[in-house]
Structure 1
Amino acid sequence: MKLRWTSVAWSVVYLLLLLSLATPLTVVTAFFLIVPGVLLYTTLSFKTFALHVVPVWLICTLIFGPFMLLQAIYFIVPAIVMGHLYKKRASAVRTILSGAGTIMGMFLLVLLISTVFFDFNLATSIEDMINTAMAPLQNMADSPLSAGVAWSPELSTQLSNLTVRLIPFTMVVCALIITTIAHAVVRPTLGSMGHIVPKLPPIRDWRLPRSLIWYYFAALLLQMFGGESVAQGFLGTILLNITPLLQFLFMIQSASLFFFVAYHRKWNPAIPVLLVVAMVFFPPLRIVGILDIAFPLREMLTRPRR
C-alpha cells in the first residue's frame, strides 16, 4: 500500500512538472522532468508503469494539445533507459552517461524529423527568437538614451549563428546536468523504498583520462594557427564546441582535487566548496585540473614526509 500511494504521488509530481512546461518555470523544472519517470519505471512493472504514465499524458494532451504529448515522450525515453539500468544495478557512471546520451540522441531524432517532414529551420527559428527578445534594444537605435546598446539585424544574425554552432556543447552539458540531478534525487529516494542502487564515487576520487590534455592542446594549436578558413568551417564548429567542453571537464577535475586535498589534509569542508565557487568566477583556476591530469599531483601531496 505504501508503494502504491508513493507511486501515485510521483505520478502527480510528474503531471505538475509536465504542466509547468507551458509556463516560465520550465527553465528550472525541465531539469527535473525525468525524475518521476525514472522512479516509476524502476519501482514498477512495465504494465503498472504505463497505467501511471498514460493518464498523465492524456490530461496534459487535453489541456495543451498534442505538442505536450511529444514533449512528454521526449523526456520519458531517457527516464526508461535510466530506470532499466537501475533495475540491472548498473554503475552510476554508466547510468548517467547512458541517460545523457539518450537525451542527445532524442534531440537529434526530433531535429531530423522536424527538418525533413515539417520543413523546420533551426537557425531561422533561433534568429526569430533573438530578434523578438532584442526588439526593444533595436528600437532604441535612434534614441539619445541608447548609449551604445542599440541592436541591429547584423548582430542578431551573428548571435543566432553562434548559438546554432554551440548547440552540441549546450546539449552535452544540459544532458549531463539533467541526468546527474536525476541520479542525485532518485538514488536516495529509491534507497528509502528499499531499492539499493550504486552511487557515484566521492568527487575527491574522480580522475579524468590524460588524453584530454592532448585534445585540448590540439584544439588550441588549431585555433591559433588554423586561420579564418578553419574558424568558419566544419572544423571550426568542432573546435568551438570541444574547447569549452574540455574547459568544463577541467573545472570538474579541479574541484575533485580541491576535495581530495581537503580530505587528506583534514581541512574544513567549507574550504573546497569556497574554492569551487571562486573557480566559477575565476575560470583560470581550471589550470589546477589540467595539472592534476597531466602530473601525479595526488601522489606527491599524499607521499609521507621523511
Structure 2
Amino acid sequence: MKLRWTSVAWSVVYLLLLLSLATPLTVVTAFFLIVPGVLLYATLSTKSFSLHILPVWVIAAWVYGPLILLQAVYFLIPAIVMGHMYKKRVSALRTVMSGAGAILVEFLLILLISTVFFNFNLAESIEDLANLVVALLQNVSDTSMSEGAILSPELSQQFSVMVQLIPYTIIVSSLTIALIAHAIVRPTLASMGQAVPKLPPFRDWRLPRSLIWYYLIGILIQLFVGPSAQEGFLGTILLNMIPLLQFFFMIQTVSFFFFAAYHRKWNPVIPILLVIPVVLIPILPLWIIGIMDIAYPLRERITRSGR
C-alpha cells in the first residue's frame, strides 16, 4: 500500500513537471523532469509503470495538446534507461553516464532528422532569434545605439562562438540532468528499501589520465594548424573540446581541495572558499591543479605527509 501511494505521489509530481514545460518554469523544471520516471520505472513492473505514465500523458495532452507528448517522450527515454540500470544494480557512474548519453543521443538524432527531412538549420534559427531580439531592442532603445550594436564586429564574433558552443552546452546539460536525477533517486530508493550503488565520495573522484592527452592534442592543433583551426568542422570540435576538458579539470580541482581538506583535517569552510575562485573567476586557470592531480600522485603525498 505504501509503495502504491508513493507511486501515485510521484505520478502527480511527474504531471506537474510535465505541465511546467509550457511555462517559463521549464528553465528549471526541465532538469528534474526525468526524476519521477526513473523512480517509477525502478520500483514498478513494466505494466504498472505504463499504467502510471499513460494517465499523466492523457491529462497533459488534454491541457496543452498532443505536441507536449513529444517532449514527454524525449525525457522519458533517459528515465527508462536510468531506471533499468537501477533495477540491474549497475554502478552509479555507469548509470549516470548512460542517462546523460541517452539525452545526448536523442538530441543528436532529433537534430539529424530535422536537418535531413525538414531542412532545419540550428545556426540560422538562433540567428533569426537574435535578429528578433535586436528588433525588439530597436523599438525600445535609441536607434543609433541599436544600429551600432548590430554592426559591431565583436557582437558578430560572439554570436558565432555561441553557435559553435552548442554541443558543449548540450553535453554539460545532459550530465547535469543525469547527476541531479541520481542525487535525488538514489536516497529515495534507499528510503523505500531498495539499495542501489552510490557514487564514491566527491573527494575520491579521479578522472582518467587520457583526458590530459586529449587536451594536449587540442592545444597542439591550435598552435600548429593556425587560423584554419578556428574555422569549419575542426574549429567547432576544438572550440567545444577544450572548454569541456577544462570543465572536467575544474571538477578534478574541486575534488582535490575536498580530498586535501578531509585528510589534513581542515575546517570544512576552507575547501568551499577555495572552490569560489575556481568557479567564479575563470581568468585564474586554477583548473591546472586538476591536471596536476590527474598526472602526478599529489594525493599520495598528502596522505603520506599526514601520517
Same structural fold, with TM-score higher than 0.5 when normalized by the shorter chain:
yes
Which amino acid is 2:241 matched to? I
Amino acid at match of 2:273: L
Question: Which residue of the partner structure matches residue 257 of structure 1?
Answer: 256
What corresponds to 2:303 in structure 1?
302
User: Residue 189 of structure 1 aligns to which amino acid in structure 2?
Assistant: T
Aligned mates of 2:15, 2:63 — CA distance in 1: 12
* Alpha-carbon offset, residue 150 of structure 1: 2.5
* Superposed displacement of residue 147, structure 1: 9.4
Matched, 1:134 2:129: no
2:219 aligned residue: 220
- Name stretches of at least 5 consecutive residues in structure 1 with no aligned partner: none
Alpha-carbon distance in structure 2 between the residues aligned to 1:149 and 1:35? 46
1:204 CA displacement: 1.0
Report 1:1-306 matches (<5 A): 1-138=1-138, 140=141, 142-143=143-144, 146=145, 150-152=149-151, 158-283=157-282, 284-304=285-305
Secondary structure, counterpart of 1:6 in structure 2: helix
Moved more, 219-228 or 203-212: 219-228
Contact 1:137–1:149 (CA<8 Å) still a contact in 2?
A: no
Q: Quick one: distance in 2 between partners of 1:66 and 1:152?
A: 42
Tell me: CA distance 1:141–1:214, structure 2 relative to 1, closer, same or farther (3 Å): farther
CA RMSD between the two structures: 2.0
Please give the alpha-carbon distance, in whole angstroms, between the structure 1 residues aligned to 2:180 and 2:162.
Answer: 25
Asked if structure 2 preserves the Cα contact closer than 8 Å seen for 1:138 and 1:152, the reply is no
210 and 98 in structure 1: CA distance in 2 versus 1, 3 angstrom threshold: same
CA distance in 1, matches of 2:174, 2:26: 15
Sequence identity (%)? 67
Q: Distance in 2 between matches of 1:233 and 1:18?
A: 38
Q: Describe the superposition over 1:55-100 as per-residue Cα deviations: whole angstroms up to 9, x where unpaired.
A: 1111111222222100000000000000000000000000000000
The 2-side partners of 1:65 and 1:2 are apart by: 33
Deviation (angstroms), 1:247 = 0.4
Matched positions, count: 304
User: C-alpha displacement at 1:158, in angstroms?
Assistant: 4.5
Alignment partners' CA distance in 1, 2:229 and 2:305: 49
TM-score (norm 2): 0.93
Bigger shift: 125-134 or 232-241? Answer: 125-134
- Do 1:141 and 1:151's aligned partners in 2 also have CA atoms closer than 8 Å? no
Q: Deviations over 1:171-192 (max 9, x none)?
A: 1100000000000000011111
Kindly indicate whether the alpha-carbon contact (under 8 Å) linking 1:138 and 1:150 is maintained by their aligned counterparts in 2: no
CA 1:135 to 1:198, structure 2 compared with 1: closer, same or farther past 3 Å? same
Alpha-carbon spacing, 1:281–1:132, altered in 2? closer, same or farther (3 Å): same
- Cα offset for 1:159? 4.5
- Say if 2:149 and 2:155, in contact at 8 Å, map to a contact too: no
User: Can you give the 5+ residue segments of structure 2 that lack an aligned partner in the other structure?
Assistant: none
**204-213 vs 23-32, greater mean Cα deviation:** 204-213
Partner Cα distance (2:92, 2:148) in 1: 47
User: Contact 1:91 / 1:199 at 8 angstroms: preserved in 2?
Assistant: yes
Superposition deviation, residue 163 in structure 1: 2.8
Judge which range, 31-40 or 274-283, deviates more. 274-283
2:67 aligned counterpart, secondary structure? helix
Partner of 2:150: helix, strand, or coil? Answer: coil
- Check conservation: 1:18, 1:60, Cα contact below 8 A: yes
Structure 1 residue 301 displacement after superposition: 1.5
Paired residues of 1:137 and 1:150 also in contact (CA < 8 A)? no
